[in-house]
Amino acid sequence: MKPLWRAVLYGLILAAAWAVPAFLTGNVYHPAPLLVGAVVPLGVALTPDPPSPRLRLAGAAAGAAIALATTGLLAATGHLEGTSLLPAGGAPAEAVAFSLAGSVIGWVLGWARRR
């Protein structure tokens, strides 16, 4: 399996692990979008052979897309209600910010990997 698709699978599994409990309990899981956004670029970067810069960037974009899609789904269905850890905005704004931050953090940590 190609490194990007394997990493996307990891991201989808982690997004499901965030969304299913949110649907069942109605709780806001604050670190989940950060983790979902970061797992895909890290999964791409941790392959045995160092990936190309385009593949690393595609991993970061895919991680952000998965995290933002999950955020949108939870917000649209009313399962992303609650307090925010950020000083402004609610839980959906926090999830968007954490999704993008996780993607950037995963991309930077992936670049830090040296062979």
User: Using alpha carbons only, how large is the chain's radius of gyration in Å?
Assistant: 14
**Across all residues in the chain, what is the average pLDDT?**
89
Query: What's the domain count of the chain?
Result: 1
Q: Are 46 and 60 in contact (CB under 8 A)?
A: no
Tokens of 9: 């699978």
Domain span holding position 70: 3-112
The predicted-structure confidence for 39-59, as pLDDT tens digits, reads as follows 999 999 988 888 888 999 999
CA distance 70 to 37: 10
CA 51, distance to chain mean position in Å, is: 20
For range 12-34, the mean pLDDT? 90
